[in-house]
Structure 1
Amino acid sequence: MSTNSSPHDSQMSRKAVTAATIGTALEWFDFTLYGAVSATVLPKLFFPAMEPTAGLLASLATFGVGLAARPLGAIICGYLGDKLGRRNLMLATVTMMGLASVLMGLLPTYNQVGVIAPILLVLLRIIQGSALGGESTGAQLMALEYAAPDRRGRYSGLLGLCSPLSQIMANAILMGLAATLSTEQFMSFGWRIPFVMSFVLVLVAIYIRLKVDETPAFVALKKTSHKPANSPLKSVLGNHRKTILRLMLFFCSPAALFYLIVIFSLSYLTKHLGMSQSMGFMSLMVANIFAIFGALAGGYLSDRWGRKKALAFGSCMTLVILMVYFPILNTQNAAAIMAIMGLFLGFTQFQSGIQPVAFAEAFPTQVRFSGSALAYTGANLLVGGPMPMIAVWLMSQSNNSPWPLVSLCAVINLVSLAMIVIGPETRGVDLNNVTPEESVDSVATPLYSK
């Protein structure tokens, strides 16, 4: 396929990937920010009537509500994105997420309005989670449906760095506020500042997205005899069940390992090994720096090697690192811990940097949003979100031995690798394809290859 494009197309392509990356980073920033304060600030301000442990669990449950709302948001946004287009929906999701975050920063506490405070907090978390469920896939399609076939992987890698970048930003801002404000000031108003600051970032994201036209693939769809499906969800489940299942099972491993590293590992270092929280947070910050480079490398190499080879390489590397991960953590050597956490999260995010393009190339235009969103959120719902709780339970049942957990993750990793191996190579397929009956798992002839 020719990769020639007009200056206007190239300019719009850059605008699209910029809009997608900034918007997604903003939404992950808000989501990560909430996770950081849910274990420290919120129990005291919104659940003070409970004893400390119950208050902490209640606060963490509100974090879980946001995760649980993501599949609902994916289904709704998938339907609207396939029916109405990508651009308008992306404006809606970033606005919803931003407004919910600003309102969180302005919420009255339990001592001010009583039980209404935690109720409002939960409602805003549902809005946040629903918006992120649509944003994650919608932003990917906005960027990738504009990209030239030989550069889609690089754009995909840029989208993959949003999560680790947002974690670095959110934790750095909170650490800075905690260092400059007294405990009383931080509990009173300091924690609210980054939430309210989201308003400025939302305005920037909306401004940039207003400058982006509807994607070429959706415009081409409207010009053909194939109109958007009356029920994209019914259509994608009817014609692409195997593709959705294969992609979901593939992404179960990166999703599970991501939460294992960024949530459970911190608890393992501090509670099981008795290391300081500052050491845990520093290791996680270093790991997220590795993850940024991992996402970029994954996207770039998927353009050079193809999606299958690059994904298989990343999957094999995570399997190898998994075997030595906990023994190296157990050494309690700071440099070794930072290195192994960095490599583990880096190769996990290596696969996540390829995920957007691999999912986008698997479905025709009129069901692409629905199919991609179902596979992505399905993996997170099935094993991603529950992984920290599963890890805690397995450790408690094995006298704090990590090997049952390692065995489970190895099985998930091997299933993921099998899904990569049996899937077709999709590098360079025509994203303007609008044939709903044609499943990529049965028909996949790349138009661009090296």
Structure 2
Amino acid sequence: MSTSSATPHDSRMSRKAVTAATLGTALEWFDFTLYGAVSATILPKLFFPAMEPTAGLLASLATFGVGLAARPLGAITCGYLGDKLGRRRLMLATVTLMGLASVLMGLLPTYNQVGVWAPILLVVLRIIQGFALGGESTGAQLMALEHAAPDRRGRYSGLLGICSPLSQILANAVLLTLAGLLSAEQFESFGWRIPFVMSFVLVLVAIFIRLKVDETPAFVALKQTPVKKERSPLKAALGSHRKAILRLMLFFCSPAALFYLIVIFTLSYLTKHLGLSQSLGFSALMVANLCAIVGALAGGYLSDRWGRRKALMLGSIMTLAIMLVYFPILDTRNTFAIMAIMGLFLGFTQFQSGIQPVAFAEAFPTQVRYSGSALAYTGANLLVGGPMPMVAVWLMSQSGNSPWPLVGLCAVINLVSLAMIAIGPETRGVDLDRVTETAPASPQNLSTSTLVEQP
């Protein structure tokens, strides 16, 4: 039995790291969300005009799906390189790649200008965006958390959890502002391009901040430790840590599925099934995203106070309970009730997403942490997150527009997630600088972070 002490953490550098990670990830989610907002309105006319309207809409939405499909490739590739080359280099690369793809998307010629090359280039840029976001999501989490002091990791994790709902609020606010200032013809001609091109300024800011952040103490410690380095971190993660990857992936399937159910399918349910206005749907979604920000911050904070497992179990139990009354409350068509239930549902869903970064990071030793975390995170999104809106539509069509089969499916996914949380170890206070498997520190020893290796 031997002991190992964690590397001291510079609080100033920790703040820089979480700022750089949060800003960069929010920017990448902003660009990704921005595309989703225009793919159903502007892009079919400009890039798929030769198709009839419905086919053009489907083709445009398919390019959004291409971005989602490219995320696992980005996660696997960047996970391998991040475990070999370091977190900092990959974070500079992914934010630069996303920024360039977004700017080029804003400058793309239309179908009327270059013909079939317009949709081809659009698809290529969407693949690059998805690849960059896949690598960014896990890398930014590790950059922030490996710099954080053990007793503040949950708080930093919660800050990372606000990136997605914050980006949705900002993207929709920017588009609504431009649509209000410009005529319909101006918005279709050049207005939609403005936020894509202007994101270049935000990219420069994000790169500047990330250049000021040192490589993480955990990765520096790995390079200085006389242990056998993994030739293939990805292979090592799948070989020695496949049970942890599978458990974490199954846990995150529920937050991933419920997130897409709320932000995508619920809008369709409110407008098409209940006949409510789109403005009500967007307003309710805006309120829900504000609640999601609060939820992510609360989840991260409570995970530092209670431990990761106890906080995650609270979030999972609450989403299960809310799910059972979600559609009946939507069916009341009462504006206040709809906003309240969507806010609670997305809030407790993002409560778990605010804990996910730290729970995933603490589950793996340094040399496979990027690969292991990325596989679990993107695996959950690929398995149930992305397909959930389409599955929901299909179940509704097969059940005579009854939501209960969908509720049953989501309940099963939630129960599996809850079981994975229950059987998992408590990891609060584990030494993130470790290069071997170690037992978690007790809450009483968080200040010293002195850990004993398992036999």
> Is TM (by shorter chain) over 0.5?
yes
In structure 2, C-alpha distance between the alignment counterparts of 1:447 and 1:224, rounded to whole Å: 25
Contact 1:361 1:429 in 2 (8 A): yes
Aligned to 1:384: 385
Contact 2:6 2:433 in 1 (8 A): no
Partner amino acid, structure 1, of 2:265? F
Contact 2:95 2:136 in 1 (8 A): yes
Aligned to 2:13: 12
Partner amino acid, structure 2, of 1:445? P
Matches within 5 A, 1:344-359: 344-359=345-360
- The C-alpha deviation readout for 1:197-221, integer Å capped at 9, x for no partner, is 1100000000000000100000000
Aligned to 1:256: 257
Aligned to 2:164: 163
Give structure 2 stretches of 5+ with no counterpart: 447-455
Q: 1:444 aligns with which of 439, 443, 450?
A: 439
Shift of 1:225: 1.1
Matches within 5 A, 1:256-295: 256-295=257-296
In structure 2, C-alpha distance between the alignment counterparts of 1:444 and 1:293, rounded to whole Å: 31
For normalisation by structure 1, the TM-score amounts to 0.97
Shift of 1:448: 4.3
Aligned residue for 1:145, secondary structure, equals helix
Aligned to 2:407: 406
In structure 2, C-alpha distance between the alignment counterparts of 1:305 and 1:13, rounded to whole Å: 22
- The C-alpha deviation readout for 1:270-290, integer Å capped at 9, x for no partner, is 011111111100000000000
Aligned to 2:394: 393
Pair 1:32 & 2:36 matched: no
Shift of 1:2: 9.0
Give the share of equivalent positions with the same residue, in percent.
85
Contact 1:221 1:227 in 2 (8 A): no
In 2 relative to 1, CA 2–448 (structure 1 residues): closer, same or farther, beyond 3 Å? farther
In structure 1, C-alpha distance between the alignment counterparts of 2:432 and 2:46, rounded to whole Å: 49
In structure 2, C-alpha distance between the alignment counterparts of 1:2 and 1:68, rounded to whole Å: 40
In structure 2, C-alpha distance between the alignment counterparts of 1:157 and 1:307, rounded to whole Å: 12
Aligned to 2:205: 204
Aligned residue for 1:314, secondary structure, equals helix
Aligned to 1:194: 195
- Over aligned residues, Cα RMSD in angstroms? 1.3
Aligned to 2:121: 120
In structure 1, C-alpha distance between the alignment counterparts of 2:116 and 2:227, rounded to whole Å: 51
In structure 2, C-alpha distance between the alignment counterparts of 1:226 and 1:10, rounded to whole Å: 28
In structure 1, C-alpha distance between the alignment counterparts of 2:230 and 2:387, rounded to whole Å: 33
In 2 relative to 1, CA 2–222 (structure 1 residues): closer, same or farther, beyond 3 Å? closer
In structure 2, C-alpha distance between the alignment counterparts of 1:195 and 1:76, rounded to whole Å: 26
Partner amino acid, structure 1, of 2:347? G
- The alignment covers a number of residue pairs equal to 442
Contact 1:256 1:387 in 2 (8 A): yes
Aligned residue for 1:107, secondary structure, equals coil
Shift of 1:119: 0.2
Partner amino acid, structure 1, of 2:193? R
- The C-alpha deviation readout for 1:115-140, integer Å capped at 9, x for no partner, is 00000000000000000000000000
- The C-alpha deviation readout for 1:182-239, integer Å capped at 9, x for no partner, is 1000000000000001100000000000000100000000000125411011100110
Aligned residue for 2:357, secondary structure, equals helix
Aligned residue for 1:430, secondary structure, equals coil
In structure 1, C-alpha distance between the alignment counterparts of 2:431 and 2:211, rounded to whole Å: 26
Contact 1:429 1:448 in 2 (8 A): no
Partner amino acid, structure 2, of 1:148? A
Aligned to 1:83: 84
In structure 2, C-alpha distance between the alignment counterparts of 1:93 and 1:226, rounded to whole Å: 29
